[in-house]
C-alpha cells in the first residue's frame, strides 16, 4: 500500500498527559463545588473533548463553562508540562520520516496548547502541520472527526488509502473512519486493544518501534 501521510494523535500517543490533566481537573472540580474525579476516572476519559467527557464525570454540559475556565487556569500555566514523552517516540517519528512519509498532528486538544507541548518536547519539527481543536466550546472544530477533516484541508489532500491515523482511543478510530481513512491503534496510551479493535482499528501496535511497519498494514 502506498502511504504518503500519517496523522498522529497527541495525548496517549505521543505523550502521557495524565498527571497534568488529572491535577487540573481535580483543581477545577473542587473550585466549582464538584466532587473531584479520581486519576482512574480521568484516565478513562482522556481524548474526547470536554463536551463528551464532563457529563461522564458528573458535570452537565450546561454547567461546564466555569469548570473549563478553572481547568484552563491551572492547565495552561502548569498542567500542560506535567507530561512525559513516551519512550521511543522521537525514534518512531524519525523512522516514519525516513520512509518519506509526511507527518501531521491531529489532536482534540486546543491547537495553541498542543503546539506549546510539541515545542516543549522538541518534536514539533517533525510535523508539516499541527492541527488541533478550537478552544471555543461552541465552535465547529471540537470533535476528532472535525479536527481530522480540518487537518486534511490544511494539508491540501483528500482522504484515501494514502493517509492513515495513529491514535490510542476509539474516538481516534471513529474520527478517522468518518473521514474515509484507516486508523492504527496504539496500546501504550489510554485505550485498550479491545476498545480500538471494537471501534474498527486497522491493526494494533504495542510499542512505538512497531508503528513503521503497521502504517502499511
Domains recognised in the chain with CATH numbers: 5-16+85-214 (3.40.50.1000), 18-81 (1.10.150.240)
**Distance of alpha carbon 128 from alpha carbon 155, whole angstroms:** 8
Average model confidence (pLDDT) across the chain? 96
Task: From 201, 148, 194, 197, select the one nearest 173 (Cα to Cα).
Answer: 201
**Average of per-residue pLDDT across 139-150:** 93
**Average of per-residue pLDDT across 166-190:** 98
C-beta pairs of 84-88 under 8 Å, 24+ apart in sequence: 84/15, 84/16, 85/14, 85/15, 85/16, 85/121, 85/123, 86/13, 86/14, 86/15, 86/16, 86/188, 86/189, 86/208, 87/208, 88/207, 88/208, 88/209
Q: What pLDDT was estimated at residue 138?
A: 75
CB 7 within 8 A of CB 164: yes
Q: What pLDDT was estimated at residue 99?
A: 96
pLDDT at 137 over 80: no
Its pTM stands at 0.96
**Phi, psi for residue 187 in degrees, rounded to 5:** -105, 5
Q: What pLDDT was estimated at residue 1?
A: 62
pLDDT at 201 over 80: yes
Q: What pLDDT was estimated at residue 93?
A: 98
Task: From 149, 189, 146, select the one nearest 170 (Cα to Cα).
Answer: 189
Among the listed residues 9, 11, 168, 172, the single catalytic one is 9
Q: Residue 40 catalytic?
A: no
Amino acid at each position: 500500500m502506498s502511504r504518503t501521510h500519517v496523522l498522529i494523535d497527541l495525548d496517549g500517543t505521543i505523550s502521557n498527559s495524565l498527571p497534568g490533566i488529572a491535577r487540573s481537573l481535580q483543581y477545577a472540580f473542587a473550585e466549582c463545588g464538584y466532587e473531584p474525579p479520581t486519576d482512574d476516572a480521568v484516565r478513562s476519559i482522556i481524548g474526547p473533548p470536554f463536551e463528551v467527557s464532563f457529563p461522564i464525570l458528573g458535570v452537565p454540559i450546561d454547567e461546564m463553562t466555569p469548570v473549563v475556565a478553572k481547568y484552563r487556569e491551572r492547565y495552561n500555566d502548569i498542567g500542560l508540562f506535567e507530561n512525559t514523552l513516551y519512550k521511543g517516540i522521537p525514534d518512531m517519528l524519525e523512522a516514519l520520516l525516513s520512509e518519506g512519509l509526511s507527518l501531521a498532528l491531529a489532536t482534540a486538544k486546543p491547537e495553541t496548547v498542543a503546539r506549546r507541548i510539541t515545542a516543549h518536547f522538541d518534536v514539533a519539527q517533525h510535523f508539516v502541520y499541527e492541527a488541533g481543536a478550537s478552544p471555543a466550546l461552541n465552535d465547529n472544530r471540537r470533535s476528532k472527526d472535525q479536527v481530522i477533516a480540518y487537518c486534511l484541508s490544511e494539508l491540501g489532500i483528500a482522504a484515501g488509502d494514502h493517509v492513515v491515523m495513529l491514535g490510542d482511543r476509539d474516538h481516534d478510530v471513529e474520527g478517522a473512519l468518518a473521514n474515509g481513512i484507516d486508523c492504527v491503534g496504539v496500546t501504550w496510551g489510554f485505550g485498550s486493544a479491545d476498545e480500538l479493535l471494537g471501534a474498527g482499528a486497522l491493526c494494533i501496535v504495542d510499542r512505538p518501534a512497531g508503528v513503521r511497519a503497521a502504517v502499511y498494514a
